[in-house]
Structure 1
Amino acid sequence: MTGTERTPVRWQMAVRRAWHGFMRHDGIDSAAALTFFALLALLPGSLALVSVFAILDDRDRAVDDLAAVLDTVLPDQATRDLEGLLRELLSLNNPYVALTIALLLLIWTTSGYATAFGRATNKVFEVEEGRPFWAFRGRMILVALLLDLLGAIVITVLFGPGDWPVWAVLRWPVLLAFAVLFVAVLYTFTPNVVRPQRRWVSVGSSFAILFWIVVTGGVALYAVFVDHGAVYGSLGGVIVGLLWLYATNAALVAGVELDAEITRLQQIAEGEDVARSLDLPVRDTRRIRMLRRQRNADIAAARELQNDAKGRAARGGRG
């Protein structure tokens, strides 16, 4: 059998192992945790967006524009409630102070999301987090700065001059390009492993982005044809948004699993024994060594206590 004939079997094996790995590494729980941290970043992100509108645009027009966007995915009552909240936020006497606070909170909460994604990725590659807290969180703050910058560019593209016919067409491939960069940053810089081949576009990231496009299209169709407000009330849009966010994070984790299994097949083809676990270099082991020292100290203290108890029991028996 030639290498070409073996390729479909290898792809089938990669997909099957990726699915098994997703279940074994608690991908469902990882997606839920990532959704929580993403929600934490939404409030400061919204405050930052509103503050920018308050600084650069007419406040009433800013509320109308944002409400029109929200109205496409949220039920009427939820849109009216959020519109009132937006007007209160835009009534801040000093939007520059609000913007500064919002950006600081946004960077910190986004770094929390990146930290959670790093832990989820470490599960996939079956490695421990070896970076000390200060080094790990410091790196994730830098990642958060880059992710927030990409997010700001995406928002600018979405709310840009849509009345330009050429831009109305070009904005979608531009958005896709920045989505690829966003996923590549997460996949490359958050885990504690150094991936052998650093590519901006991998099979796993392509799967995650494709799944995200399908889910987004499905949510858009659902919002058009189904009155989710009638089913869930004022929380209908929130529930639909949570499901979309959860599916997006599940796709991101599944994409990492697929990349890991493709890497495994490449290493197996090179003669390496990685059928059970991957052999990839780690970035740092200081935290692993520290936890190992702590565990050894705890075990030694427990054994000392056990020996003391045995000694007291022996003395009591002789008495």
Structure 2
Amino acid sequence: MDRGNTVRGEICLGREAITPTAIPARGWKDILWRVFWSIPDDRILSTSGGVAFFALLAIFPAIATVVSLYGLFADTGTIRGHLSLLAGVLPGGVLELIGEQVTLIITQDSDALSLAFVVGFLVALWSANSGVAALFDALNVVYGEKEKRSLVRFYSTTFLFTLGMISVVMAAIGAVVVAPIIFTFMGFATPAEQFLAVLRWPVLLVVVCAWLAMIYRYGPSREDTKWRWVTWGSVMAAMLWLGASMLFSWYVANFDSYNKTYGSLGAGVGFMMWIWLSVVIVLLGAALNAEMEHQTATDSTQGAALPLGSRGANMADHVGASHA
């Protein structure tokens, strides 16, 4: 093949793309093909199991923390009613499992709740931080990186992300609990409830997209990528997660196979499966972002443009194989 045909072929594959939107259809074929093969190559399914384990460890201490925090704003007895806001997204068995734990906690006296807040917060913080560390390790695998950060920098980063997740949860509590109380005091209870019911899904989607973009940009041990190269995977993962959660919820509600197979453990197994599925989707979003960077020879890292091989990021330093 002569040089002219080679150059035209490279352009058709998006090797000179400076944004994901500049990658043509042939280039996207390569990207999606490599994303598909990253599932076995990067052990995405098995790696997600490790992250899901630590996430599950953090769930129930986090529930104790949230219930105790909820009591600062409203009667803890009403929290079960607010769990219905998640109906249709979380599987019924998951809501039932969380509801039972909430009932157990709110029957305790106020002193016990205060102690539950302190203990639950510390345990949830440790468990959640372990989960974030496991997620960062999985992102390194997806992006083809080895951990190069010092222990202090690594755990400082995971700790900041853990606190960030707690802040997002607290903000959600504020939106669900504090806002209705304010609107009720002002005499706008019904419109407020209708407004929040309609607004909760797009707001949830935007928050998840933003949080995933932060994780994809700062999680892997590499030079930071430009925001445009993490947006697509974030949006795809957020939408896929919302759709998969609704589909999984419908499956559990209609077929109830987990309870038939595992008996009293069915709700817990379903909960674990939902967390695992969520982590798989997060890593697939990371794989999409990584392979988009892998498709172009243009520098996708932050700062001045550098040549291939000197950018401090494996996916940005090499061009992915073509399957066109």
TM-score (norm 2): 0.73
Q: How does 1:87-236 map to 2 (within 5 A)?
A: 87-88=106-107, 90-157=108-175, 161=180, 163=190, 164=192, 165-199=194-228, 202-228=231-257, 229-236=259-266
1:38–1:113 CA contact under 8 A, matched in 2: yes
Distance verdict in 2 for CA 1:105–1:214, change over 3 Å: same
Question: 1:76 Cα deviation (Å)?
Answer: 10
Q: 2:272 aligns with which of 242, 246, 257?
A: 242
Secondary structure (helix, strand or coil) at the match of 2:148 reads coil
Q: Partner letter of residue 39 of structure 2?
A: F
Deviates more, 1:170-179 or 1:8-17: 170-179
Secondary structure (helix, strand or coil) at the match of 2:57 reads helix
Deviates more, 1:158-167 or 1:70-79: 70-79
Q: 1:42 aligns with which of 49, 59, 70?
A: 59
Distance verdict in 2 for CA 1:127–1:68, change over 3 Å: closer
Counterpart residue number, 1:267: 297
1:154–1:178 CA contact under 8 A, matched in 2: no
Instruction: Name the larger-Rg structure.
Output: 1
Secondary structure (helix, strand or coil) at the match of 2:111 reads coil
Deviates more, 1:265-274 or 1:133-142: 265-274
User: For 2:223 and 2:45, how far apart are their aligned partners in 1?
Assistant: 25
1:194–1:280 CA contact under 8 A, matched in 2: no
1:67–1:83 CA contact under 8 A, matched in 2: no
Distance verdict in 2 for CA 1:280–1:103, change over 3 Å: farther
User: For 1:98 and 1:139, how far apart are their aligned partners in 2?
Assistant: 27
Q: Partner letter of residue 185 of structure 1?
A: M
- The question of 1:22 aligning with 2:48 is answered no
User: For 1:235 and 1:56, how far apart are their aligned partners in 2?
Assistant: 34
Distance verdict in 2 for CA 1:21–1:200, change over 3 Å: closer
User: For 2:286 and 2:99, how far apart are their aligned partners in 1?
Assistant: 39
Q: Partner letter of residue 171 of structure 1?
A: R
1:208–1:251 CA contact under 8 A, matched in 2: yes
2:13–2:27 CA contact under 8 A, matched in 1: no
Q: Following TM superposition, where does structure 1 have runs of at least 4 consecutive aligned residues deviating by more than 6 angstroms?
A: 67-72, 268-271
Secondary structure (helix, strand or coil) at the match of 2:243 reads helix
Question: 1:78 Cα deviation (Å)?
Answer: 5.3
Question: 1:84 Cα deviation (Å)?
Answer: 5.1
Distance verdict in 2 for CA 1:213–1:91, change over 3 Å: same
Distance verdict in 2 for CA 1:153–1:200, change over 3 Å: farther
Question: 1:273 Cα deviation (Å)?
Answer: 7.7
Counterpart residue number, 2:105: 86
2:42–2:142 CA contact under 8 A, matched in 1: yes
User: For 2:228 and 2:294, how far apart are their aligned partners in 1?
Assistant: 16
Secondary structure (helix, strand or coil) at the match of 2:92 reads coil
Question: 1:15 Cα deviation (Å)?
Answer: 0.7
CA RMSD of aligned residues (A): 3.4
Distance verdict in 2 for CA 1:254–1:59, change over 3 Å: closer
Q: Which runs of 5+ in 2 are unaligned?
A: 1-7, 15-23, 181-188, 301-306, 319-324
Q: Partner letter of residue 92 of structure 2?
A: V
User: For 2:205 and 2:96, how far apart are their aligned partners in 1?
Assistant: 32
TM-score (norm 1): 0.74
User: For 2:131 and 2:85, how far apart are their aligned partners in 1?
Assistant: 28
